[in-house]
Structure 1
Amino acid sequence: MAAADKLGRQLVAEAIGTGFLVAAVVGSGIMADRLTADTAMALMGNTIPTGAILFVLITLLGPVSGAHFNPAVTLAFALGGDMSRNVALRYVLAQICGGISGAVLAHAMFDLPLLQISQTDRGGADQFLSEIVATFGLVATIFAGLRTSPQAIPALVGLYITAAYWFTASTSFANPAVTIARGLTDTFSGISPGNILIFIVAQVIGAAVAVPCCRWLFRERQTA
């Protein structure tokens, strides 16, 4: 019974965390787009709230669920043997449901149609490569942080995503649940549904490559 209660709280935390993350991404994108016609300024207005909310959410919900908020991160932990397939699948479902709810919530807060389909094309080899790099870096940041400075994880992840918004051509989605949710908003942060699958494939590749790399790189520290 206690185990079921713990898992229930973990799943709710993952859904809430992913929901707030998407609400921040979509909502700040809408606000930025309304306040300026300068694309660079709008992207900055989208970037800072995303990095900030990640710091807050990971700090507060990390002790409850581990604060994945991202199926790619959950996949990485499952591949590393730190999570069972059954629990990982439930995490992913909670994250996707939370992410979609976050997009709808952002639309409601800005008095927009609740359900939308994005028309923003993000196709191309550059986007695919960018998502591999972005997700590899995110997972590596988390795994390296856990081995070297666990207390700094919220700051590390928030700062990494803030930076990756600007050094990747895709603006660093690096998250399948967020990618799906962003396909349901025809606003600044949207992505055409036709591009979603290729983004998720790239994210899975990035996460899967990061796990053995981090295992090898930090092998002596793990043994110690």
Structure 2
Amino acid sequence: MAYKFVDNYREQGARKKLVNLLKEERKIEDTNLLDAIGKVPRHYFFDETFWSQSYRDIAFPIGEGQTISQPYTVAYQTQLLHVSEGDKVLEIGTGSGYQTCVLLELGASVYTIERQEKLYHRAKLFLSKMGYHPNFFLGDGSKGIPEHAPYDKILVTAGAPFVPEIMLKQLRIGGTLVIPVGDEKSQKMITIIRVNENDYERIELDTFRFVPLVGDQAW
């Protein structure tokens, strides 16, 4: 896939319209998050042939059976995390790297893991060219990255059949996990807050449809 790093008035205008849609129609209220989305050139993640689709509020295929998430989904999940500057965030499922960039724009220290080798290498090279430098890992994200735990926030960008216990144990006390849980057709967005060493608060929210989370602790 060939990228031209062009961010002209047309793309800037389209990005502003997307941010306004998320704010006015989708009711995303986090102004820091909206600012972050407004800074990430989403069209860079598309072949130039499909730039006209890049600021629509839709998911789009990126190869290897994966998608770049719908902007609303990115905003919805990220808003639930309540990311503060300096937060240590584990992202399960790098994919295109778009969500990763939004987290970085919020000032997070991001640890991101991808199981698809082609997507891992593509995102690692591409984000570096864009000037984004998260901590990249190749492997089974359903197990988290225990060697770098604990994390302030954990974000899972694929649908899981259950909440992996191993992932919960990687949360810092007071930390938040956001994960879609359900079957292969639809999932409920779940927010889990680690209250203390052994107790967790679980909140079940809206229904979404994600690609499946694959691994030892998933499908």
| Fold shared per TM-score above 0.5 | no
* Higher strand proportion: 2
TM-score (ref. length: structure 2):
0.27
Q: Whose relative contact order is higher, 1 or 2, with alpha carbons under 8 Å and at least 6 apart?
A: 1
TM-score (ref. length: structure 1):
0.26
